Amino acid sequence: MKAVFIVPEYSIEKSLLRGTGNAWEFQARMRLWSCPSLSLITIAGMMPEGCDIEYIDLNYTSEPEINAEWAFFSPATAQANRAYQLADKFRKKGIKVAIGGPHATVLPYEAFQHSDVIFIGEAEKTFPAFLKDYKNNKIKRIYKASSFPELSLSPSPAYRLTKKYPYKSVPIQTSRGCPHQCSFCISSKIYGNKIRCKTALQLENELKTIKEIFGKPYIFLTDDNLFINKRRNDDLIRIIKNSHINWYAFSDASIADDNELLSEIADAGCTQLLIGFESLCSQNLQDLNKNHWKMKKLDSYKEIINRIQSFGIGVVGSFVVGMENDTVDVFDNLYGFIEETSLYATNITVLTPFPGTEIYEKFKREGRLISEDWSAYNGFELTFKPNNMTVEEFEKGYMDLNMRLNSSDRMSRIINHFKTVFTNKNSGI
């Protein structure tokens, strides 16, 4: 088989971040997200020996002439329109197209119109079935996962294919699933609430491969909640520490309860943790998930940030604006909190009703969606009518907040704050 794995452009040119493109925090955020498509290189890792395969990321190169038998896509919602456009073009040229990933999983019949094959769910079982059918010339139109696969079935991703691009970080996934099941999170809906983990040997081999290819990579551990499975933390940290890498990851706020764990991950090369605080409004947090876990942590947010950062680990505070109880005050309140806590960095996104989530169904039912142009579903563009402010008020507040966060004064304050943190840490204070 001669196949190409294609990453469509991911554009935020029309988003509410316009005007901040050269600002320091915006650039820092883009560096964190600059990495290969893990889903595509994972299925590329399943391809049999002898296949002629290529990986193309259109965020970094112009559209080339494709000479292949098959083209594979795994678009996020914001990439879906572009993926369909490319797929239609390729099919007219006689190239067969297969589409999988999160968007195709929740809207399979939409993807079906632009492809020869669609994959629904995770690929560890569906893609080998496709390859077997290809070999026997009996390909089906739909391959659907009937259950969540064990990650021991997951191959080592084909990292070698991505070396030609100037990515700033290299992704590795050690587990899937999250028990919190937040109402706006498409990842938790697709992966489920049970934590499934790769084996220690898989992780060791993947990290070894990454280092052989990239030298001194900055690693992005893509798990929704890296340290939530406490039974495997010792093995996980040992493997990471023995790899001698710098890395960042996602965690929930409970990591601040374990000083020993914080000390261990700092020594193991952790430079940043992205934590989903989501909101400073208790009612928003109460509505977020059924167990109200995040709401119960709200009063401790400041202490949590201070404790984690005291170990020299920068906290990237992730917040979502536009929730049901947000008013125009949300932007000033959030800025004040960020200044008071000296957050290392922020990831402030616009509430996005991704298809497949509870809030998408709610807003659609209430007639509040103002766009179903999937390219707008990028996390930085308003696609619905807010509950307690006008669209104009929201957009002005969000743009103003981002300009304030990206000011040179704030950058200087953060640098000075962390100089003090590292001085105190090194002196044992």
pLDDT at residue number 89: 96
Helices (H), 118-223: 123-135, 186-191, 200-214
Q: Which amino acid is at 221?
A: L
pLDDT at residue number 414: 86
Rounded to two decimals, the pTM is 0.92
pLDDT at residue number 18: 58
Successive 10-residue mean pLDDT values, the chain, 429 residues: 94 60 65 88 95 95 90 96 96 97 94 97 94 96 92 94 95 86 71 86 96 95 88 92 95 93 96 94 86 86 96 95 97 96 93 92 96 93 96 95 86 85 73
pLDDT digits (tens, 9 = 90+) for 214-223: 999 999 999 9
Where do the DSSP E strands lie in 31-80?
52-57, 70-73
| Average model confidence (pLDDT) across the chain | 91
pLDDT at residue number 302: 96
pLDDT at residue number 38: 95
pLDDT at residue number 154: 92
CA dist., res. 116 & res. 127, Å (int): 14
> What DSSP designation does 155 have?
P
pLDDT at residue number 23: 61
DSSP-assigned letters across all residues of 378-396: SSSS--B--SSS-HHHHHH
CB of 170 closer than 8 Å to CB of 217: yes
pLDDT at residue number 115: 98
pLDDT at residue number 12: 63
pLDDT at residue number 149: 87
Token look-up 């840490």 returns 425
Strand pairing of 175-176 and 196-197?
Answer: antiparallel
CA dihedral (243, 249, 255, 259) positive or negative: positive
CA 411 → CA 303, 333, 339, 342, 420, distances in Å? Answer: 22, 19, 11, 10, 15
pLDDT digits (tens, 9 = 90+) for 362-375: 999 999 999 999 99
pLDDT at residue number 19: 57
pLDDT at residue number 14: 56
Where do the DSSP E strands lie in 196-341?
196-197, 218-221, 246-251, 270-278, 314-321
